[in-house]
């Protein structure tokens, strides 16, 4: 059997094993070990398994992940998410669908302090959805807005997915962070337009609030949100000015979060809870990333990566067609894989195609993360939908959330078309770095 054929069977075998619900880390490691053993020999396979964990964990860029995770955990436990939603509610309460818009922009801002879509959906969801239900909002729409807006956590920097993409694709994480800003704001902006249209034609879904907050109350709420702007400003200014790298910005963000927590009355139990969450999630990410590193080695050794590049030059013809086909693959995989798994399983296969077509890997990185965002609200998995539903399962049926979130799925198609048609939306800010 040729090495190329072994590579092809390895990819097919991986999809079968994943469909059987074998954990992603185990699936990647097992298929890669057997594949490398068949292509080379099992001494090489054992060597790869023994060296890959150290090579990955010792990577300087990967150290940013636990720092940003810790920053997000501290931000939640110190009440930053609650302050953001409260401020957005006071300022937007009187407009049609005010609480929906408040949830959307609270998610956008909290994304800059969490780095995770599911963490954003969970943090804002437990605050916003009960408030909207008390105000008479449609339950399915209330939960759907939080589930969709929570996906901004993967796009607005700092983003865990951007860090992993940068490590595997060997592109600067700092440029990826900057590349996600405009697409993230575009997404939040178009969500606002969609919410406005929905509430205009179907006002019964989101009744207008009767109470009108006083201006002193509104200004005071902005003061309480200042910590998140300190975090965002500190991280972005540090990266954009060149004072710190994207990796060092993670440590800066974690340090700022601790300082903010201290002044906000953060307890020792909150810090220990944040550390526990950080260690748990970091371990999960690292195990999957190690498996993905092994799988990438297998794909390269089998020659499949080179063959895919040649094949892409023949059938794709242009980067636009390649990205459309890639989008379809991600939407299918999103039906049964989690976001991290999708990224780490597919990159070893798609990167050779992107490189063969001489595509800008910053632009493709934004699109790949956007595709993963969409998978977070795609049935039957739609992890963000399940995250929100888990908090209000006794009040909002799951089918109602998926029905209402389909409106945002259509909105995402428009956003993807704009990002493909106008690559400068993604590449403008990174280009300013030189």
How far is it, in rounded angstroms, from Cα 311 to Cα 94? Answer: 56
Domain boundaries, the chain: 59-266+303-432
Could you report the average pLDDT of every consecutive run of 10 residues in the chain (434 residues)?
82 82 83 89 86 74 80 79 81 82 88 80 84 87 92 86 88 89 94 92 82 79 80 78 77 83 80 86 81 81 72 67 82 73 81 85 94 83 81 82 89 92 92 75
What is the reported pLDDT for 381?
67
Find out whether 227 and 133 touch, Cβ atoms under 8 Å. no
| Structural contact between residues 353 and 397, judged by C-beta atoms closer than 8 angstroms | no
Return d(Cα 220, Cα 112) in angstroms, integer.
22
344 vs 347: CA distance, rounded Å: 6
Q: What does pTM read for this prediction?
A: 0.82
Contact 360, 423 (CB under 8 A): yes
The closest alpha carbon to 408, from 368, 366, 378, belongs to: 378
Q: Residue 215's CB: how many other CB atoms inside 10 A?
A: 8
Sign of the C-alpha dihedral computed for residues 93, 124, 140 and 198 taken in this order: positive
pLDDT at site 190: 95
Give the span between the Cα atoms of 428 and 118, in whole angstroms.
28
Cα 375 to Cα 372: distance, rounded to the nearest angstrom: 5
Tell me which residue has tokens 């945002």: 408
| Residue 309, pLDDT score | 63
Q: Report how far residue 40's alpha carbon sits from residue 204's, in angstroms, rounded to the nearest whole number.
A: 65
* Angstrom distance (rounded) from CA 137 to CA 130: 10
Q: Could you give the CA distance from residue 52 to residue 43 in angstroms, rounded to a whole number?
A: 14
Q: Please classify residue 365 by burial: count the beta carbons closer than 10 Å to its beta carbon, then call 0-12 exposed, 13-18 middle and 19+ buried.
A: buried
Task: State the Cα–Cα distance between residues 328 and 375, nearest whole angstrom.
Answer: 11
Q: Quick one: how far is CA 52 from the chain centroid?
A: 25
């Amino acid at each position: 059997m040729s090495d190329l054929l072994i590579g092809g069977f390895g990819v097919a075998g991986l999809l079968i094993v994943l469909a059987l619900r074998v954990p992603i880390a185990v699936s990647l490691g097992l298929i890669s070990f057997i594949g490398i053993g068949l292509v080379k020999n099992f001494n090489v396979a054992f060597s790869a398994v023994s060296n890959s964990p150290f090579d990955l964990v010792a990577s300087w860029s990967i150290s940013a992940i636990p720092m940003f995770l810790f920053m997000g955990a501290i931000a939640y436990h110190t009440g930053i998410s609650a302050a953001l939603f409260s401020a957005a509610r006071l300022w937007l309460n009187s407009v049609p669908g005010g609480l929906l818009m408040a949830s959307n922009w609270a998610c956008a801002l909290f994304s800059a302090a969490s780095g995770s879509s599911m963490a954003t959906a969970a943090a804002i969801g437990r605050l916003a959805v009960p408030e909207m239900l008390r105000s008479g909002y449609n339950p399915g729409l209330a939960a759907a807005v939080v589930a969709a807006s929570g996906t901004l956590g993967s796009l607005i920097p700092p983003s865990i997915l951007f860090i992993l993409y940068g490590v595997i694709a060997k592109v600067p994480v700092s440029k990826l962070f900057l590349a996600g800003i405009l697409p993230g704001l575009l997404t939040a902006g178009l969500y606002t337009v969609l919410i406005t249209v929905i509430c205009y034609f179907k006002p019964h879904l989101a009744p207008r609030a009767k109470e009108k907050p006083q201006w002193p109350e509104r200004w005071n709420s902005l003061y309480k949100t200042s910590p998140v702007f300190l975090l965002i400003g500190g991280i972005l200014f540090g990266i954009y000015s060149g004072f710190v790298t994207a990796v060092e910005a993670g440590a800066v963000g974690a340090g700022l979060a601790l300082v903010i927590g201290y002044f906000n009355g953060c307890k020792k139990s909150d810090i220990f809870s944040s550390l526990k969450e950080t260690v748990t999630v970091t371990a999960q990410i690292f195990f999957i990333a190690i498996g993905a590193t092994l799988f990438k080695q297998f794909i390269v050794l089998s020659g499949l990566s080179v063959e895919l590049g040649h094949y892409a030059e023949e059938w794709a013809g242009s980067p636009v067609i390649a990205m459309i086909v890639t989008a379809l693959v991600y939407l299918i995989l999103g039906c049964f894989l989690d976001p991290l798994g999708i990224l780490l399983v597919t990159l070893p296969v798609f990167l050779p195609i992107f490189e063969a077509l001489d595509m800008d890997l910053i632009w493709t990185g934004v699109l790949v993360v956007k595709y993963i965002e969409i998978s977070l609200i795609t049935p039957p998995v739609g992890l963000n939908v399940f995250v929100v539903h888990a908090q209000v399962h006794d009040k909002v049926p799951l089918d109602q959330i998926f029905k209402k979130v389909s409106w945002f799925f259509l909105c995402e198609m428009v956003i993807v078309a704009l990002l493909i048609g106008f690559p400068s939306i993604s590449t403008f800010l990174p280009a300013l770095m030189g």
